[in-house]
Amino acid sequence: MPDFEYSNADKIYHFIAYFFLSSLWFVVLFKRYKLPFYKSLLYSVVASILFGIIIEVLQAILTDYRSADYMDVLANTIGVSTTVITLLILKKKVVKK
């Protein structure tokens, strides 16, 4: 990762990663497994947020050099929330056509 002067720049990476993680899980559930839109959205949101929390807890428990950071979880959740907003806007625009 490139160095930034901002000390919490890794939160940007968390946001981007979880935006794409939840988006990809949504696509897999909706397109591949043919789940309904809202069920796919719900499952991808819950799975992404739980995954982020579990990873943070495991970092604190299993390593001596990493710690859990609630700000990482917040950045992850904001990324997932952005996915939800984006998908709802896209759904609304596609249905109007």
User: Per residue of the chain (97 residues), what is the pLDDT tens digit?
Assistant: 555 555 788 999 999 999 999 999 999 999 999 999 999 999 999 999 999 999 999 999 999 999 999 999 999 999 999 999 999 999 998 766 4
Number of domains in the chain: 1
- For 89, residues 6+ apart whose C-beta sits below 8 A from its C-beta are none
Q: CA quadruple 20, 26, 29, 32: dihedral positive or negative?
A: negative
Indicate whether 2 belongs to any domain: no
Contact predicate 50/59, CB 8 Å: no
Indicate whether 4 belongs to any domain: no
Residue with tokens 């939160």: 11
Domain containing 45 equals 10-96
Contact predicate 25/35, CB 8 Å: no
Cα 93 to chain center, whole Å?
23
Per-residue confidence (pLDDT) for residue 34, from 0 to 100: 97
Q: Smallest Cα–Cα separation from 78: which of 56, 49, 50, 53?
A: 49
Indicate whether 3 belongs to any domain: no
Indicate whether 71 belongs to any domain: yes
Indicate whether 17 belongs to any domain: yes
Indicate whether 74 belongs to any domain: yes
